[in-house]
Amino acid sequence: MFKSKLKEALICFKAGRVTMPFPLGPELHPPEEGFRGKIEIDVEKCIGCGGCANVCPARLIEITDTETKRIMEYFLTRCTYCGRCAEVCPENAITMTKEYQLATTDSSDLYIKTELYMGTCGRCGRCFKPKTVLDKMMHPGFRTKAEKA
């Protein structure tokens, strides 16, 4: 029995100290390429297709259409960091950064709001909103706030 205890103690001592000085010291294993951290949105590239809202499993992207604008709100407190929005975006407007230290007391740190101006009618110059349900379905990104289908 004593021999096995000695062996166990030796195994433990061999590992040394594995406590990392997080978050005050240098990181032992910084995240590499392909790490799925907080998302970042490049508004210039976004075309408002709504593909990210369609595919998000946590249902945290909400799209509202006003008279002239399409407003997309991202409530990142619910984010599971799965990365589907970044994969599905056709313009690569959503990218995943390497930020993972996201604990905060202010939930507005984890809230992104983008506003995009909608296309205007060629003849009269006013912005248009589709009328019938069939039109709505043809219009991409139909997950609006009003009807949570």
Partner 1 sequence: MWLCEQITGNRKTYGMNLIGGVRRDITPDQKPKILEVVNQIEKEWLKLIDAIQGDTPLMMRLKGIGVLKHADAVDFCVTGPTARGSAVKIDSRVDHPYSAYDRLVPEKKVHDTGDNLARTLVRLEETLDSIRLVRQGVLELPEGPIMVDIPEEIPAGREGIRVVEAPRGESVHYVVTGEDNRPYRWKVRAPTYMNLEAVPAMIQGMELADVPIAIASFDPCFSCTERLEVVDRKSGKIKIYTEKELIELSQKKCK
Partner 2 sequence: MGKVIALAMCNVVLVILVAPFYEGVIRKLKALVHSRKGPPFVQPYLDLLKLLGKEDLQVTRNPLFSFAPILTFGSILMAALFTPMGTNPPLGFAGDLIVLIYFLTLASVGIMLGGSSTGSIYGAIGAGREMMLGMVVEIVIIGSLIVGVIHAHSFNLGAISAWYHHAGPYFSMIMAAVPFFLVLQVQLGKLPFDIPDADQEIMGGPFMESAGPKFALYKWSYFAKQILLTSLLMEVFIPWPKFGVIPLDIFINLIKVLAVMVLVGVIDAVCPRIRIDHAIRYFIGVWIVLIFAIAFALIGV
* Contact positions vs partner 2 (CB under 8 A): 5, 8-9, 12-13, 15-19
Helices (H) and strands (E) in the chain, counts: 4, 5
Decide which of partner 1, partner 2, none touches 32; Cβ closer than 5 to 8 Å per partner kind: partner 1
Decide which of partner 1, partner 2, none touches 13; Cβ closer than 5 to 8 Å per partner kind: partner 2
Q: Is 126 in the site for partner 1 (CB under 8 A)?
A: no
- Of the pair 58, 118, the CB lying nearest partner 1 is at 58
Q: In the chain, helix, strand, coil percent, each to 5?
A: 25, 20, 55
Q: Which long-range contacts (CB under 8 A, 24 or more apart) does 60-67 make?
A: 61/85, 61/143, 62/143, 62/145, 63/141, 63/143, 63/144, 63/145, 64/144, 64/145, 65/118, 65/129, 65/144, 67/127
| Neighbouring C-beta atoms of residue 137, cutoff 10 Å | 11
Q: How far is the CB of 91 from partner 1 (least distance, A)?
A: 19
- Of the pair 3, 131, the CB lying nearest partner 1 is at 3
Are 134 and 67 contacting, i.e. CB atoms less than 8 angstroms apart? no
Binding positions for partner 1, 28-87, rule CB under 8 A:
29, 31-32, 34-36, 59-60, 62, 75, 77-78, 80-83, 87
Map residues 95-124 to x or -, x wherever contact with partner 1 holds by CB under 8 A: -x----------x-----------------
Cis peptide before 23, with omega less than 30 degrees from 0? yes
Sites of contact with partner 1 (CB under 8 A): 1, 3-5, 7-8, 11, 29, 31-32, 34-36, 59-60, 62, 75, 77-78, 80-83, 87, 96, 107, 148-149
